[in-house]
Amino acid sequence: MDFSNESRVLHRCSAQVLDIGNLLLLSLWHLVHSIISICNFTLDIANVLESYLISSGLLGRYKSLHIAKLRYLAIVIESEEAYQTSKIIELLQWLEAVGVKHVCLYDKEGILKKSKDFILENLDGAIWFQVLSYWQPSIYAMQDAHENNVLLDQQHMTLEFVSFSDGKEAVAKAANVLFMKYSKSGVTDQNQKEKIFTESQMSEALKTVGSGGPEPDLLLVYGPARCHLGFPAWRIKYTEIVHMGPLKSMNYGSLIKAIYKFTMVRQNYGK
């Protein structure tokens, strides 16, 4: 009996020690995260101050941007914030003022696609850049010409609207296009079969299914965290991805800083 009482007391003591230990660990964890939050808050204030200085033109190096280097810009917006069309229009107006001509707007759920007409109406002279899906060979040349004409146009801003369905699902559709070619190539002709699965064939197949836009040079993410949220994978292989913070706190200075930093980047492409 004494032995079982002793073991019960021992068990209770060890449980209490464990509880105290867990409480200590939890406190330490919260303490570390509080310190991180304070550091992030301090950094945010510093960024806001820097953005103000950039916007007011006091920081000389941001005054001249080599904007020609930024041929195609993509913007990823968290779908919950994509309803803020007035903010998006303001952002696009800033980009237009800076000299950015070709922009791709992405949100996962396609909210921006639904707001397309409203956005285009409120942006003077902007053109909708649409990659048409086409099946007849005669349309290939027309689409290429349309794409070249739109992208070479330096007078008007072009806007492309993209969502999650233009990513993995589009690759699956493109795979079916390639399967069609594979099926028709003839069983014995292995060389012909191998030539079907190349990057250029995949790019053509994506254009065929209406998801073959250009690869952006820079992708700006407006949301709580740095994540591309399913932007078409085939198009962001070498794209610079920069996190801008939530759309509600967007500011002109941060935008200029992101574009400036992009223009200073030099890629080796593996070399």
Partner 1 sequence: MFREDIIIHIFSGWRSFLRKCLFRVLRVGPIPSHIAVIMDGNRRYAKKKKIDDTTGYDAGALALLHLIIYCMELGVKYVTAYAFSIDNFRRQPEEVQKIMDLTMESVMLLTWISKLRSVRVHFAGNLQLLSAEIQDAAKRLMESTAGYNNFVLTICICYTSSDEILHAVKKSCKEKWDDGIGIMGYDKGSDYELLIKVVDIEKHMYTAIAPDPDILIRTGGEYRLSNFLVWQSSGCHLSSLGTVWPEFGVFHLVWVVLDFQQNYHYFAKKKLQL
Tell me how far CA of residue 202 lies from CA of 2, 174, 176, in angstroms: 78, 7, 11
How far is residue 55 CA from its own chain's centroid? 24
Q: CB 3 → partner 1: shortest distance, Å?
A: 33
Min separation Cβ 265 and partner 1, Å:
8
Q: Which residue's CB is nearer to partner 1, number 104 or number 119?
A: 104
Note whether 205 and 172 are within 8 A (CB). no
Nearer to partner 1, 157 or 211 (CB): 211
Which residue, 157 or 202, is less far from partner 1 as judged by CB? Answer: 202
Shortest distance in whole angstroms from residue 179 CB to partner 1:
5
Smallest distance, partner 1 to C-beta of residue 74, A: 13
**String of b and e for 61-74 (b: at least 16 CB within 10 Å)?**
ebeebebeebebbb
Q: What are phi and psi of 88, to 5 degrees?
A: -65, -40
The torsion region of residue 235 among left (phi > 0), alpha (psi -120 to 50) and beta comes to alpha
| DSSP category for residue 86 | H
d(CA 61, CA 65): 9
Q: Residue 58 or residue 172: which is nearer to partner 1 going by CB?
A: 172
Bridge partners for 159 per DSSP = 103, 128
Choice between 3 and 135, CB closer to partner 1: 135
Q: Give the nearer residue to partner 1 in terms of CB position, either 28 or 58.
A: 28
Q: How far is the CB of 271 from partner 1 (least distance, A)?
A: 5
DSSP letters of 27-57?
HHHHHHHHHHHHHHHHHHHHHHHHHHHHHTT
Using the minimum distance from each CB to partner 1, give the nearer residue, 90 or 240. Answer: 240
Q: Which residues pair with 105 in a beta bridge?
A: 75, 161
Least gap, CB of 42 to partner 1 (angstroms): 15
The residue (of 113 and 156) whose beta carbon lies closer to partner 1 is 113
Helix (H, G, I), strand (E, B) or coil at 140: helix
**Contact residues: partner 1, CB under 8 A:** 25-26, 28-29, 32-33, 36-37, 40, 108, 133, 135-136, 164, 167-169, 171-176, 178-180, 182-184, 197-199, 202, 224-230, 233-234, 236-243, 265, 267, 269-271
Distance of closest approach, residue 245 Cβ to partner 1, in angstroms: 12
Smallest distance, Å, CB 223 to partner 1?
8
